[in-house]
Amino acid sequence: MFKMAKKDIPNMLTLLGESMDVYAPVKKGKLTNFEDFTEGAELDIDTLKTVKSPKDFFLPQVENLFSATSQGKEINIEAKALRDKPFVIFGVRSCDVRAMEILDSVYLSEPVDKFYEARRENGIILSLACNEPGQTCFCTTFNIDPAHPNADGAMWVINDNIYIEARTEKGENLVKLISKFLQEGSKNEIVQSQTAIREKLNKLPYSDLSLDGLEGNQLLDLFDTPQWEELHKTCLACGICTFICPTCQCYDIKDYDTGGEVVRYRCWDSCMYSDFTLMAHGNIRNSQKERFRQRFMHKLVYHPDNNKGEISCVGCGRCVNKCPSSLNIVKVIKSLAVKCNV
Amino acid sequence: MQKIGVFVCHCGTNIAGTVNIDEVVENAKHEPGVKYVAEYPYMCSEAGQSMVQKAIDEHDLSGIVISACSPRMHETTFRRAAARTKLNPFMLEMANIREQCSWVHKDKEEATNKAHALTRAAIAKVHHNTPLFPGESPVTKRALVIGGGIAGVSCALDIAEAGFVVDIVESTPSIGGKMAQLDKTFPTLDCSACILTPKMVDAQFHENINIHTYSEIESVEGFVGDFTITIRKKARSVDMKKCTGCGACYDKCPIKKIPGEFDEGLGMRTAIYTPFAQAIPNVPVIDREHCLKFKTGKCGLCETVCAPDAIDFEQEDELITEKYGAVIIATGITPISLDKFGEYAYTSPDVITSLEFERMTNAAGPTKGELIRISDKKKPKSITFIQCVGSRDVAVRSKTYCSKICCMYTAKHAMLVKDKYPDIEVNVFYIDVRTPGKNFDEFYRRAVEEYGVNYIKGQVGKVVDNGDSLWIQAVDMLDNKQIKTKTDLIVLATAIEPVKSVRNIAGMLSASIDTNNFMTEAHPKLKPVESPTAGVFLAGACQGPKDIPETVAGAGATAAKVIGLLAKDKLITNPCIADLDPYYCNGCSACEKVCPYGAISYEDTEINDHGKKAIRRIAVINKALCQGCGACVVTCPSGAMDLLGFSNRQITAEVDAICR
Amino acid sequence: MPLNPNSSFTPLIVAFCCNWCSYAGADLAGTSRLNYPAQIKIIKVPCSCRIDPMFVLRAFQKGADGVILCGCHPGDCHYSTGNYYARRRITLFFSMLEYLGIEKERTHLEWVSAAEGNKFASTMRKFTEQIHALGKNERLEDIR
Amino acid sequence: MIQKQMQERAKQMLSLGEVTCVLGWKKGDFSTNPQPAVFESEKDLEDLVYDKYCAANLSKYLVELTKKEGKVLVFLKPCDTYSFNQLLKENLIKKERSYIIGIGCEGNMQVDDDMQEIGLLEKCQTCTKTAHMVFDELIGEELTVRQGDDPFEGVLNLEQMSSDERYGFWREELSKCIRCNACRNVCPACNCRKCVFDNNKYDTAQKVNASSFEEQMFHIIRAYHVAGRCTDCGECSRVCPQLIDLHLLNRKFIKDINEFYGEFQAGADTDTPSPLTDFNIDTDPEPGSVHKRG
Amino acid sequence: MHIQNDYADQIRLISGSQDLKCMKCGRCSASCPQYEEMDVRPHQFVSYLQRGDIDALMDCESIWKCLSCFACVERCPRDVKPARLIEAARLLRIRRQSDDEFITPEQVPALLELDPDIPQQLLASVFRKYVK
């Protein structure tokens, strides 16, 4: 356990920038998102939740896979290079850290996604404990402890200091790079803060959100429940929830003719869109109800069924805040859990 | 994937002088989908065309690009060549490397690069071309002629002779029109009735002609080749099938003092009447406004005397709906109203219009052909003709145009008077004498030279009816003298105008009409008998003042055009028209609002949306009306509407290729 | 050529011409051998009302440095009303491009009749000079 | 209290069978995020709320709801009625299948990430729509007319900038876009069955902004497609997760249309032709003359 | 022929007469009650204007003989307005003459005493013609 002065963070990040890419929560106007930390960027580690989760550093919204050029009647295909430069993401919250583990279970299981794997190997995540959990947070429902975040290194902000604990080899190597800013700290110094965080968590509106009723093999029951009709009714079929969700992972593959070459790229897709899984014969999910159901069945049922019961929601609460129609996964969980308990 | 053939034309040195053809050919070979490339000095020549045709067959080409001159020049040529093979002619695009390249650029390298880019764009477009098939719309082999005057009748006869059924709709009780009212015709002075009535009879008995007199157009639907028109046959109160035309009814009719329309009000008719002796059909009509039976419920004399029991007081208007392939407007003209011409004292019985004069000199007319003054039934000693009454006049009461026929008929009238009554003094006041036409000027000169008609260059300023004679004040401009003199009869060469009802008819047919209510031609020189609305044709004086020879000649031309249309089994329409993907249409009606042809309507249609059937309100394009401008395509935000031949994909492909 | 001889920049210009007037005007410029820069590449559309703003953006996206639209003079449209709709659409669209900070000189609308070969050539010459002065289109080009 | 009146009237109409369902706002987990909802029973209506957080424009939901048999009771704020009219004009709503109760509005609140109120929404700060353009009945008291800011101030400020500054502004703004399509899907004017950007028939389909150009393409074309139809309901800016001032695009078109073709308010009625499906032979300016003015 | 000079233009300006529209039909002269009294006839007015011979027009008798009854204006099929034209010529003539040539309103009753039946129209005409 180390500690350093909070005011030294920008300098510390600049130092890191000499040997790797550095991403950190940067405030631009009213928005805070993870961005390239460059000189003059306004670091913002007070804002609890960035609009977008940091998942796009591992699964970018658009990623070129290969390009094809033709010379005469010859076609040359060139795969795009994999990520080979290390990078660090500074200040990731517990929920988003857990989200990365969920993405790992998808992209690092066979067949392994090389692009994702390369990014994951080169990426170092420094997590940050949530001193002030928000009203819409419900990570505790998924047994996430924002007072004790995982990742390569964990951080706590306490008064004017920041405490850093390396958890992995990558983390330890990183700590060595910045050793000139660090001094020894004790685990005891963060306990009080951790307790305070946990107390706050217990008072949050969703602190008692329970998954009772969602466990067990009730796929068909849930699939056919009439609740979906009620739940989806005002869904506008936009992709806000999908694109800001740290665990949503679906992509589409498209080609683009630049004139000189044809680029095949993949990009985020949303199961809320009417052309999601569109096939030659048409679409298997024709109504918004079916698409809406797909999203939540995937998160709450299909994913756990395939991944040792792990629900692919981390309770970050972004969707609760952003949905234009005030729909969200909490409403779905409440509705389904109640339904199945009865 | 298309198999594309590219054919680069040298156009002698026109292209090859500035563009390196070999380079264009070589570059084209590397374009995707290009299977065959060839060049030739004159691609449009017989040999060039057969080379293209041969290549299409031998290399199984699915699309071709001709890099040559402007498509405005030879696109049709090459489409025809393609059509002689198994290739759809619309799988062809032209790259304009002459007018828009070799002729406007001097630098050989620049021009060659541009020729390459334009060829590339055409190749890119062809990739997205789809075979297009000119639409077909059925042609109902039946024509409708509106107006039963000489224009309508002769046009109908010509069409009927070609083997097509023609219906004539005439608003008055008999066909014949204005010509039936005339006495003699210029410049031959043959009897109008003698030449018209045989035609009327021909029409009556022609197996292909149906005549609906006392009828009007009620409504029009449809478009060229496929009009559906409803005709209102007004109640005649006489059963056409039973009536033998014996005339007993109007002999007995007690109401005898109705000014007769046919005699221009100079003669009287009965309440049940036929307008004139040779009327076709020879079946009387009851004028319900004046008939005692209808006014008071009493009388019914005609019914009593009618042997075949044809009188039917209960008869109602009948609506007939029929399909037509073509419509001919032949509504003709009528003299303008002289109510506002106080200076000519038209209220005097001895001041008459030329048409009234025709009736008066007609042997079957109200005076049995005797020239008398209406006021005292005496033979006039002098007659004054005044020309240009209401013509060439910018005042509201008048017409700005020259009525064209007046100079000739006035000369005719003057001559006829002098011929029959050499003792009558005849003066004609004129502004200009306009008599161009075969034997026309000679005719006018005969009036002056052989018959001694006194032509005075000048106008009449005012006419005063003194009771026993008419006093006029005029001017002789050549003499520079004012003339104040007495005359016994004044004939006004009244301006003519289209009949009022033509506005309504034109409106129903969406044919255009000018400020004078004359029908507008599709093109004044190249399409002189067609209206701008496809399938609507024009005949006779509804287009503008015309004399009889011109009317009949024009009616023949109209008939030829109509026959040309009706002879087709199907109408071939431009295939480059709007094309809707009903699945994407959300029924917002924006396209309907911008269509200049009214070719888009909305219908509730069953759509199969990936197996889910739903009734949706979607756009429907009338392929016969759409001209392919593309206004709707750009208005449609979702891309549901596209334009065949210029589709979004085709144009974006061209853009991409040019910018590459 | 009045273009700057020192500059290696060769602009790429897409011209959309309606079939009935402007394309015929361009043909007339050809028949009359009226020179204009070879950077102008013409795409034929049936009517100026067929020009979708998407096409203009597409051209810029693919690297065009200027886009010029030509149609029949108001009142002369082969389809009677096409260019009136086009006029509104293009006016608003060009105004929006300017609002987004796209140089207004990169786009132009000109009415060219079938008889105006001279006007076509001179318009194209002028427009090319204009684009040349502006330099390469960077604000709207797709950088992928 | 207006919420009570709305509940009572809705219950009454439902029980009398005058309507088959009610479109309103339902109590959310937080007081600040009521949810647009369809109520089908009198019991459900207990959850109907109406307060300053009910910002969602309900008109768009009617597109789907009025496709079904029956009649929908809908509560519309003054600004929402413009959207209703516009949808009616485009034949996307069936008037006979809806019953509009106009309700007063005193402006809606913007909520931050922590569900706390942080002042009036932009669309309410510049509100000019204080009267209902269409309704079957009204509930609640007449509105006090707010002294709104000038809706075109933002556009004017931009217009006065240099071309470079404007370009810089829009690059910054539009590069934030994540193409979640919320602006499009919430927009009552964006009612295409399939957006041209989703339409695989053409080369225009874009699922994401694969380049900076595509952000611009999407937003320019979206604004252009709704030009003359956009009622300026402000929903696009309200829902944007990345806080892009999208209304600045739409209002530019509105301002231009007003200046070039005369004052026009989309949705004020259902008859006036939309400026882009109309023209004036004599008075329409040429694009060149417009440039000179700017 | 359409000569333009100052006087001719002034006449066109004052009268609103469109001399080029005249088609020489003579309706003006045919309608004129004063025809016999005139040296230049109404249908000739326009020729003077077209020739630009305004001096001759200003010196002619007709400008004083015209009754301003406007029959010619009323009858003219081409809206040439001969009476307006001659009235304009008269005005130019009057503007050219010296003050003592004018009659004053006071002189008029004396004139009227000669003939109590003198028509009102004449009175109006007199004032049109002789008063500046």
Mean pLDDT of all residues in B20-33: 92
Report the run of H or E that residue A37 belongs to, with start and end: none
Query: Based on the domain organization, do B61 and B49 belong to the same domain?
Result: yes
Residues 6+ apart with CB under 8 A from D62: D23, D72, D74, D84, D87, D93, D98
- Residue A5: which residues within 8 A CB-CB, separation 6 or more? A160, A161, A162, A181
pLDDT at residue number A283? 81
Residue range B607-637, pLDDT digits in tens: 887 777 888 999 999 888 888 999 999 999 9
Is there a contact between D243 and A31 if contact means CB atoms under 8 Å apart? yes
Contacts of C50 in chain B (CB under 8 A): 629-631, 633-634, 643, 646, 651
* D35, D242, D243 member nearest A326 (Cβ): D35
Query: How far apart are alpha carbons A311 and A211 in whole angstroms?
Result: 10
> Does B339 share its domain with B351?
yes
Q: Measured between CB atoms, does B603 come within 8 Å of chain D?
A: no
Query: Peptide bond preceding B528: is omega within 30 degrees of 0, i.e. cis?
Result: no
CATH number at residue B444: 3.50.50.60
Tell me the C-alpha distance between A42 and A52, whole Å: 17
- Per-residue pLDDT tens for B278-326? 999 999 999 999 999 999 988 999 999 999 999 999 999 999 999 999 9
pTM across the whole model: 0.74
Q: Determine the Cα–Cα distance for residues B307 and A293; give it in Å rounded to an integer.
A: 87
Same domain, B339 and B419: yes
Task: Note whether B658 contacts C43, CB cutoff 8 Å.
Answer: yes
User: How close is the nearest chain D Cα to the Cα of B119, in Å?
Assistant: 21
Does 3.40.50.720 match the CATH number of domain E6-96? no
Number of domains within chain B: 5
For A93-132, write each residue's pLDDT tens digit.
Answer: 999 999 999 999 999 998 999 999 999 999 999 999 999 9
CA dihedral B476, B481, B487, B492 (to 10 degrees): 30
Over 60: is that where the pLDDT of E1 sits?
no
Look at residue B571 in the predicted model and tell me its pLDDT: 87
CATH number of the domain at B87, please: 3.40.50
Structural domain of B544:
141-225+499-568
Give the closest-approach CA distance of A153 to chain B in angstroms.
Answer: 49
Tell me what the mean pLDDT of segment B386-397 comes to: 94
- The pLDDT assigned to D194 comes to 87
Enter the tokens of residue B278: 């040779």
Task: Return the pLDDT at B132.
Answer: 94
Structure tokens belonging to residue B528: 């002189």
Task: Tell me what pLDDT residue A212 has.
Answer: 81
Q: Which amino acid is residue B62, in one-letter code?
A: S
DSSP designation for A302: I
Distance from CA of A67 to the nearest CA of B (A): 16
List the single range of B150-159, B203-212, C96-105 with lowest mean pLDDT: C96-105
Residues in chain A with pLDDT < 70? 72-73, 216-217, 259, 338-342
Pairing of strands C13-18, D48-49: unpaired
Strands, E assignment, B488-527: 489-494, 496-498
Contact A286 B660 (CB under 8 A): no
C–D CB contacts, 8 A cutoff, strictly below = 114
**Spatial CA neighbour of D119 closest among D135, D107, D104:** D107
Chain A from 29 to 58: CB within 8 A of any B CB: none
Q: Do B32 and A70 touch (CB under 8 A)?
A: yes
Q: What percent of chain B lies above the pLDDT cut of 70?
A: 100
Between CA A8 and CA B173 the distance in angstroms is 108
Question: Is the CB of residue B648 less than 8 Å away from at least one CB of chain D?
Answer: yes
Residue identified by tokens 């008071």 is: B296
| Chains in contact with E via at least 3 Cβ–Cβ pairs below 8 Å | B
* Burial label, A335 (beta-carbon count in 10 A; 0-12, 13-18, 19+): middle
A242 reaches D (C-beta below 8 A): yes
| Residues B409 and B286 placed together within one structural domain of the fold | no
- Tell me the pLDDT of chain D (294 aa) as tens digits: 789 999 999 999 999 999 999 999 999 889 999 999 999 999 999 999 999 999 999 999 999 999 889 999 999 999 999 999 999 999 999 999 999 999 988 889 999 888 999 888 988 888 888 889 999 999 876 555 566 788 999 999 999 999 999 999 998 899 899 999 999 999 999 999 888 888 777 766 677 776 777 777 889 999 999 999 999 999 999 999 999 999 999 999 999 999 999 999 999 999 999 999 999 888 899 887 765 444
**Cβ pairs bridging A and C (under 8 Å):** 6
Distance (Å) from the C-alpha of residue B660 to the closest C-alpha of chain A?
Answer: 5
Name the domain boundary from B286, B316, B346: B316
Residues D186, A236 contacting (CB under 8 angstroms): yes
Across the interface, whether the CB atoms of C144 and A258 are under 8 A apart is answered yes
In a domain, B326, yes or no: no
- Count CB neighbours of D107 within 10 A: 17
Name the closest residue on chain D to residue B595, using Cα atoms: D277
Residues of A with CB under 8 A from a CB of C: 256, 258-259, 263
Does the structure show a pLDDT above 60 at C144?
A: no
The token pair that represents A77 in the structure block: 């295909």
- Whether A307 contacts A249, CB under 8 Å: no
Residue B653 in any domain: the answer is no
- Return the partners of chain B (3 or more C-beta pairs < 8 Å): A, C, D, E
Mutate which of A52, A230, A326 to test chain D, going by most D C-beta atoms within 10 A? A326
The tens digit of pLDDT for each residue in D268-288 reads 999 999 999 999 888 899 887
pLDDT of residue C2: 43
Q: Spell out the residues 6+ positions from residue D126 whose beta carbon is closer than 8 angstroms to its own.
A: D148, D149, D150, D151, D153
**B225 near B186, Cβ under 8 Å?**
no
Tell me if C2 is assigned to some domain: no
CA B540 vs CA B530, B550, B643: distances in Å: 12, 8, 39
Cis omega (within 30 of 0) for bond into B281: yes
Taking the CA of residue C64 as centre, how many other CA atoms within 13 Å lie in the half-sphere pointing to its CB?
28
Interface of A with B in 161-220 (CB under 8 A): none
Q: Which residues contact D1 (CB under 8 A, 6 or more apart)?
A: none
First to last CA, chain C: 33
Which candidate from A72, A259, A281 shows the least CB-CB separation from B660?
A: A259
Tokens 């928000």 belong to A134
Is B24 part of any domain? yes
Q: Where along chain D do its domains lie?
A: 2-139, 153-278
Report domain extents, chain E.
6-96, 99-132
Within a domain: residue B200? yes
| CA pair distance C74, A292, nearest whole angstrom | 51
Q: Does A259 touch chain B (CB under 8 A)?
A: yes
CA atoms within 13 A on the CB side of B275: 21
Cβ–Cβ contact A226 with B under 8 A: no
Three-class secondary structure assignment of E24-43:
CCCHHHHHCCCHHHCCCCHH
Interface membership of E71 toward B (CB under 8 Å): yes
Q: Over range B421-447, report the average pLDDT.
A: 95
Chains D and A touch (3+ CB pairs under 8 A): yes
Neighbouring residues of B202: CB distance < 8 A, sequence distance ≥ 6 = B157
Q: Do chains A and E meet with 3 or more Cβ pairs nearer than 8 Å?
A: no
Asked if residue B348 and residue B450 are part of one domain, the reply reads: yes
| Cα D274 to Cα D254: distance, rounded to the nearest angstrom | 12
Shortest distance, CA D213 to any CA of chain C (angstroms) = 5
Cβ pair B382, B428 in contact under 8 A: no
Full domain range(s) for residue C89? 13-134
Using a CB-CB cut-off of 8 Å, the residues of chain D touching A324 are: 56, 182, 185-186, 235, 238-239
| Displacement of CA C114 from its chain's centroid (Å) | 16
**Which band of pLDDT confidence, cut at 50, 70 and 90, is reported for residue B224?**
confident
Which residues in chain C touch residue D166, judged by CB atoms under 8 angstroms apart?
99-101
Does residue B596 have a cis peptide bond before it, meaning omega lies within 30 degrees of 0? Answer: no
Q: Which of D61, D172, D209 is opposite residue A234, by nearest beta carbon?
A: D61
Provide the pLDDT confidence category of residue E111 given band limits of 50, 70 and 90.
low
Statement: residue B140 has pLDDT above 80: yes
pLDDT single digits (tens) B431-443: 999 999 999 999 9
Examine chains A and C and say if they touch (3+ CB pairs below 8 A).
yes
Q: What is the pLDDT of residue B468?
A: 85
Contact A259 C62 (CB under 8 A): yes
Q: Which helix (H) or strand (E) holds A132?
A: none
Helix (H) or strand (E) holding A57: none
CATH number at residue C87: 3.40.50
pLDDT at C7: 63
Tell me the pLDDT tens digit for each residue of B47-77: 999 999 999 999 999 999 999 999 988 998 9
Q: Looking at residue C3, what is its pLDDT?
A: 47
The DSSP annotation for chain C comes to: --S-TT------EEEEEETTTHHHHHHHHHHTT----TTEEEEEESSGGG--HHHHHHHHHTT-SEEEEEEPPTT--TTSSHHHHHHHHHHHHHHHHHHTT--GGGEEEEE--TT-HHHHHHHHHHHHHHHHHH-S--SS----
ipTM higher than the 0.90 cut: no
Single residue among B450, B470, B497 that ends a domain in this structure: B497
CB-CB neighbors (< 8 A) of B70 in chain C: 23, 27, 30
Which of D62, D16, D18 has its CA nearest to residue D36?
Answer: D62
User: Cβ(B84)–Cβ(B54) under 8 Å?
Assistant: no
Tell me, yes or no, if B484 comes closer than 8 A to chain E by beta carbon: no
Determine contact: B560 vs chain E, CB below 8 A.
no
Angle at B257 between CA B255 and CA B261, to 5 degrees: 110
- Whether residue C25 lies inside any domain: the answer is yes
Q: How confident is the model at residue E114 (pLDDT cuts 50, 70, 90)?
A: low
pLDDT at A341: 43
E81–chain B Cβ distance below 8 A for any pair: no
C touches which chains (3+ CB pairs under 8 A)?
A, B, D
Query: Is B116 within the bounds of a domain?
Result: yes
CB-CB under 8 Å, B609 with A260: no
Cβ atoms of A106 and A249 within 8 Å: the answer is: yes
